[in-house]
Amino acid sequence: MEPDVLITDVLLRDGLQLEKVVLPVEERLALAEGLLDAGLVSLEVGAFVNPAKVPQMAGSAEVLRGLNPAEVTAQLHTLVFTDGGARRAIEAGARTVRFVVSASDGHSVANAGASTDAALDRLEPAAATLRDAGVRVEGAVATAFVCPFDGDTDPARVARVATRLVGMGAEVVHLADTIGAAHPGGVTRAIGAVRDAAGDIELGLHLHNTYGMAAANAWCALGLGIRRFDAALGGLGGCPFAPGASGNVATDDLVHLLHREGLRTGIDPVKLTAVRDHLAGLIDHPLDSALATVGTAPAAPVTRRRDGNPV
């Protein structure tokens, strides 16, 4: 049965990229296997970037190969920013790749070393390489709401980047609250602008929780018909090139919210908790999710989905 909401757990990429502890490939593979066993059908497992800049992503090719993307039914995402990264992803067996482009020039220069337009231009050869290899492409628009350097992001810029990504073949576009400063009004405006510009492209949200607004933003997006969300187990994460960025909305917290509202995710909270407990033993600080703090969540009630049909 298809889930009502698709959660992509980004622990192995966004969740780990700010951690002082660099987890070996074997530990990342164990976490991935645990997440898959818990019912996740979409994981972001690494990034083909310069390991000198993001050492936590070294070994992403080995993680991807170890998960055998040609054989698993789950989508295993990796990030690329250049044609060279796209080629390395293909060599590692990638079947789904994400492009990330910042809507704001300030963050684009800090994150990708180029303006937004230059970063988009640089991805055109990568898009062609991936299309020729039959690799599925998704897009993500970073700083889609607020930029740590440029302030509030004009929704028209978000729409322009999203449209370019769709033109490169992106089947889904994720709007990313890179520094966790979005609010429901901004989420509503950005989604509306992208829909007006890009038509019926499927949209998702990549939320951070710096100011405690991730759940409110997710709830707002659900009301607007968004059914794809990125999250990281335990609330880990953040961007090394975005001052003030903190962790992602926690997978365990988001699953709890959705289940309490009668929406199906296909994720087993008990198995997810076991993976979270294992993760807690690997890092040198407490996890950031609410459930990691309070412990076991109350059982979800037998209820009806928001459309009135039985769960």
Q: What is the pTM of this model?
A: 0.93
> Which 3 state secondary structure label does DSSP give 190?
helix
| Vertex 300 angle, CA 184 and 174, to 5° | 35
> Which 3 state secondary structure label does DSSP give 203?
strand
Assign 304 a pLDDT band (cuts: 50, 70, 90): very low
Produce one character per residue of 29-63: b if its CB has 16 or more CB atoms within 10 Å, e if not. bbbbebbbebbbbbbbbbbbbeeeebebbbbbbbb
What digits encode the pLDDT tens for the residues 223-257?
A: 999 999 999 999 999 887 777 778 999 999 999 99
What digits encode the pLDDT tens for the residues 62-78?
A: 999 999 998 999 999 99
Higher pLDDT, 51 or 279: 279
Hey, what CATH class is 6-294 in? alpha beta
Active site residue 147: no
Which parts of 155-243 fold into alpha helices (H)? 155-167, 184-198, 214-223
3-state helix, strand, coil in the chain (%, to 5): 40, 20, 40
Closest to 98 in 3D by CA, of 67, 127, 129: 127
Half-sphere exposure of 253 (CA within 13 A, CB side): 28
> In the prediction, which pLDDT does 302 show?
46
| Vertex 30 angle, CA 28 and 31, to 5° | 65
Would you state the structure tokens that stand for residue 257, as one six-digit string?
Answer: 């919210």
Ordered by start, the domain boundaries in the chain are 6-294
The H or E element containing residue 133 is none
Catalytic residue, chosen from 239, 258, 267, 292, is 239
